[in-house]
A and B are shown apart, each in its own frame.
Chain A
Amino acid sequence: MYETNYHRASSVADAVRLKGASEESKYVSGGMTLIPTMKQRLAAPTDLVDLRHVAEMKGITVSGGSVRIGAATTHAEVAQSSDIKAACPALAHLASLIGDPHVRHMGTIGGSIANNDPAADYPSAMLALGATIVTDRREIAADDFFTGLFETALADDEIVVAVTFRPPERAGYCKFPNPASRYAMTGVFVTRGADGVRVGVTGAGADGVFRHAAMEAALAGNFSPQALAGVTTDPSDLLSDIHGSAEYRANLVAVMARRAVAAA
């Protein structure tokens, strides 16, 4: 790892100030992606601004029919939260599948969505839940937030403070994990709620997480696995790598979607 300078932020405003003091700085939360990336010298921020101790970014609240998850909430906390299990058990299930127990004790929801790894779990849920990403300066609809591989609508010094969503009537998540990394080879999050059916697909898209319009249309009238029979995914839009071809992932999208609907 190249040299770096560590700063611990005490508030969101403090974090933005610390970040602004250096051009090549990065925010770090759990660090479960960033620290390994720095160890491989694939990232070399001159300064790290630690968000783990910012109280206003922690905690889960449910009020007025809306769920709010602070960005510094760990995967383990989401997985074990009785509020999340009651409001959206599929999201607690998703969190319980990320990485391994030790990673889940450090990694956070804010870090996951801000990084927007094309194989991360949370982005699919944010799209399917129609979540709102709350930052230190604005609110961004999930549909506008994820803009490409590791790319988001966030400005360089903008911080994800929380995510909010309205609990869906039904939701399900199913993923085919890479056996070594536990990242999603393909993961599909489906919801049915006041705004209809939404399907978020991660791990498969060549441009990262995406909504599956054809599946949403098929499920709108009949929310059952059978409704997905014959709905295909164009492999030319999908990732192809050493773990699986685009055609293989296209089939995984169909299988994971059926299982997610069955679980919802």
Chain B
Amino acid sequence: MQFVEFISTHAPILILAIPLICAFLTPLVSRISDKARNIFVTCAIALSLATAVLLALDIYANGARTYVFGATSPGIVLPSGMNLPIRIMYEVDGMSIFMVFISLIVALGASIYSWAATDKYTGKDRYYTLLLLMVVGMLGMELTGDIFNMFVFFEILSISSSALTAYYIEGDSAEGGLKYMLLSAIGGLFVLIAITLLYSQYNVLNMAALASSIQYTTLDIVALGILMTGFVMKCGAVPLHMVTPDAYTVSPANITAMLVTASQACLYALFRVSFTLFGKSIIENMTYGTVGIILIVIGVLSMFVGVTMALPQHDVKRLMAYHAVSQTGYMLLGVGVGLAVMGDSSQMDAFGYKAMEGGIFHIINHAMYKGLLFLTAGAMLYMTGTRDLNKMGGLGHKMPWTAGFFIIGALAISGVPPMNGFASKLLIYESVYQFSPLLSIIAMVVSILTLASFVKVFHSAFMGPQLSDYRNAKEVPKSMIVGMCVLAAVIVVFSLFPDWAVKTIVDPAVDALLNNAGYVHNVVGGA
């Protein structure tokens, strides 16, 4: 019992420390055997996920948890009389733990999938080390309550993601990795500039302390704009999406699934900055929902440009990458509408809250079905040796499991009932309609085009007669099927019980974003 209490007390750091320590132990474990290393990495992620579940139970029962490094309370009183939350601390609320679940579930599926998917390649010690560091980067961004610490994890995530994107080396992988690294570095640099602007004025880096101090000066507005643009670029929204298809196309499929959650970690950062860091200032100082309107415009552009660019693609992963851009638009639209009406309680009650529910629910749905779709694309590539849909056909005869998982993912992303994608999109359609009917209609049209696009993929890859080139094709190895199964299982559960998912994990996340004062009070109130 004491052990469970200890784990629960230190869960915020253990969630991150487990994969971090295991990342550097991975090359050592590799000396035993490849199998031992594979199991070790997967167990590390599973253990981190179990710790996250333990922490989530506590957060849902007792509210947000603040974990201070090297002290028991956030505040520190110096001999000079200075009393500020200057220590690094993690503040884990409903939104943070929601994102942690997403990152770890997809990482779990992706790591199991990797066992067989990477068997033809060398350098797997480094591959698995980087995979765990990528998990660390995402978790750090999602757990931390310190904006500079968030930047550090943003960089860890960018560097590990870039290296893994270029893992295949051959073909255009290195180019994709380089582009991703360059754009991430530039984005990171601007994020750092914005943090500097805030620090130079308020002398704190803690987000709660910053949120309570921000005066909304011109420099603050510049910082907000720079932070927003940096995170919008990293989450792959139009018109800063162009590196997304370049990187997603060439990376190993399981890494692409994790790149989706990496982009969502940046989406989380965007929402945290908009709602928590600047939320109070936005309500008090901005004209009617300007920041929300910016997110809505970017969201609608992402939805439309993403899906229309997906339609003509014949590279299966590039096609799916454009759909990732398109689906990010739904999240921005839903949450953007919530942000736009945040200052008006009647509109927030009427439709703003539901729009945010839809947007946030769509984040986890998208992570699961897009992750699954990328894994099925990896299975196609594994068996056929090509990503070109023009060269594929008849794979359904030989790869029934992959075809089945593809159908689950495709129906979910297209918002076909009774899949989870339909539930979150329905929330968005109905609530956004009350904000602007036109936006809702665009969202529905985009959904129809998404279905059309995945019908094309299913027809060209899985249907039709068995082609002579793939006469000897067979189903992918078991570990790849299990990896896909993990994500498919979550999709099925969320499809059957959307109300349970919304009330258990989505509503606490929405409440956490809207409760700006509570987030600040947890740190500053106790300082």
Real binding pair: no
Chain B interface (Cβ < 8 Å from any Cβ of A): none
Chain A interface (Cβ < 8 Å from any Cβ of B): none
